[in-house]
Homo-oligomer: A and B are copies of this chain.
Amino acid sequence: MAVVVNLETGRKEAKPDALDRLTELVGADLARVNQLIVQNMQSDVQLIPQLAGHIIAAGGKRLRPLLTLASAHMCGYRGDRAPGLAACVEFIHTATLLHDDVVDESALRRGEASANAVWGNKASVLVGDFLFSRAFQLMVADGSLRVLEILSTASAVIAEGEVLQLMTSNDTATTEQAYLEVIKGKTAALFAAACEVGAVVGGRPKVEEDALQSFGLNLGITFQLIDDALDYSAKQETLGKAVGDDFREGKITLPVILAYLRGDAEERAFWQRTLEKVEQEDGDLRHAIQLMERHGALKDTVARAAHYGAIARDALGIFPEGPEKRALIDVIDFCIDRGF
């Protein structure tokens, strides 16, 4: 989930894009989120703010908090609660990133040394636990049991998605359906919760809560599908970001699943050698990308992403037109455009 880098690198060559507009719309609230994040990652135990600061401050466009803030604004809410809860969402996200990097044995995050590479796996696990606990403390201070329900459930679903990913990793027989379940859990559940919380603080009826939940879920699926395509994309390479991390780890993502299903026996043997046995040689990554291109696996991963993007767009249909709604819809296109 090298999530925010892609957005960042993508942004550098674009004109004022959807995220910039979103950021501008909720500007003051986002500044407050950043303030709350810095305040609440403090601890007398020095290593905690050091390590947390490394990953939190190192960048990221705060996509998930932006979704909470924009959703809240679209629901007519302008009070203090949205920034606080957006900070909770970012803490939960950061905790999962810290644990992900341990689980994936990643040495890099957003182009810099990952926290586990600098401070070790142990500290990353424990500081992740701290941020996760702190998120719940902040939610308790907010006082809404409904928000606590949404975010505790999302957290459990994220963990289930991550465990499922662990179980399917290196298994080329993973179905597209199983892969979808993984990304719904590990990525989309928090997007969904981030948006839903906006409706809750806005005091909006259930139907709007559900609509924002559906928007976030499908946006999250779109986002992750494109992220997985980008890991094999030449465009990604021209942006200066490493390509092939998923390949080297033997991660089974949709581009692989499609190429495998559409390939012949010899090709399947290639995927099994490289991703199941993780016996890789020079040139294997290039060959993998060639196979994906031959079978339209990347193009069709983007097409699948566009499908979920369309569902996300329609989910917002019940909300009146306005700048936040427009900006949220533009985020869908922004995610998909990264993939071309």
- Give A residues with C-beta under 8 Å from B: 43-48, 96, 99, 102-103, 121-123, 125-127, 129-130, 132-134, 136-137, 139-140, 143, 145, 148-149, 152-153, 155-156, 158-160, 162-164, 166-167
Q: A93 CB to closest chain B CB, in angstroms? A: 13
Contact between B149 and A137, CB atoms less than 8 A apart: yes
> Which among B121, B152, B162 is the interface contact of A126 at CB below 8 angstroms?
B162
Chain B residues with CB below 8 A from A156, complex form: 130, 133-134, 137
Number of copies: 2
Chain B residues with CB below 8 A from A162, complex form: 126, 129
Chain B residues with CB below 8 A from A163, complex form: 43, 45, 47-48, 123, 126-127, 130
Q: Which partner residue on chain B sits nearest A155 by CB separation? A: B133
Chain B residues with CB below 8 A from A132, complex form: 129, 132, 155
Q: A80 CB to closest chain B CB, in angstroms? A: 18
Q: Which partner residue on chain B sits nearest A137 by CB separation? A: B152
Give A136 to B125 CA distance when docked, in angstroms: 19
Give A90 to B174 CA distance when docked, in angstroms: 35
Contact between A159 and B126, CB atoms less than 8 A apart: yes
Q: A92 CB to closest chain B CB, in angstroms? A: 9
Contact between B160 and A44, CB atoms less than 8 A apart: yes
Chain B residues with CB below 8 A from A160, complex form: 43-45, 48, 130
> Which among B45, B153, B158 is the interface contact of A167 at CB below 8 angstroms?
B45
Supply 11 A–B pairs (Cβ within 8 Å), ascending by A: A47-B166, A99-B125, A103-B125, A122-B166, A125-B125, A126-B159, A132-B155, A133-B153, A134-B156, A136-B136, A140-B145
> Which among B99, B130, B143, B167 is the interface contact of A159 at CB below 8 angstroms?
B130
Give A168 to B45 CA distance when docked, in angstroms: 11
Q: A164 CB to closest chain B CB, in angstroms? A: 5
Q: Which partner residue on chain B sits nearest A150 by CB separation? A: B140
Chain B residues with CB below 8 A from A45, complex form: 160, 163-164, 167
Q: A81 CB to closest chain B CB, in angstroms? A: 15
Q: A148 CB to closest chain B CB, in angstroms? A: 5
Chain B residues with CB below 8 A from A136, complex form: 136, 148, 152, 155
Contact between A155 and B129, CB atoms less than 8 A apart: yes
Q: A185 CB to closest chain B CB, in angstroms? A: 9
Give A293 to B311 CA distance when docked, in angstroms: 71
Chain B residues with CB below 8 A from A127, complex form: 159, 163
Give A310 to B17 CA distance when docked, in angstroms: 65
Chain B residues with CB below 8 A from A149, complex form: 137, 140
Q: Which partner residue on chain B sits nearest A148 by CB separation? A: B140
List the 5 shortest-distance A-B pairs measured between CB atoms, nearest first. Answer: A130-B159, A133-B155, A133-B156, A136-B152, A129-B159
Give A137 to B48 CA distance when docked, in angstroms: 26
Q: A339 CB to closest chain B CB, in angstroms? A: 28
Give A43 to B160 CA distance when docked, in angstroms: 8
Contact between A159 and B145, CB atoms less than 8 A apart: no
Q: A166 CB to closest chain B CB, in angstroms? A: 6
Q: A161 CB to closest chain B CB, in angstroms? A: 8
Give A149 to B44 CA distance when docked, in angstroms: 20
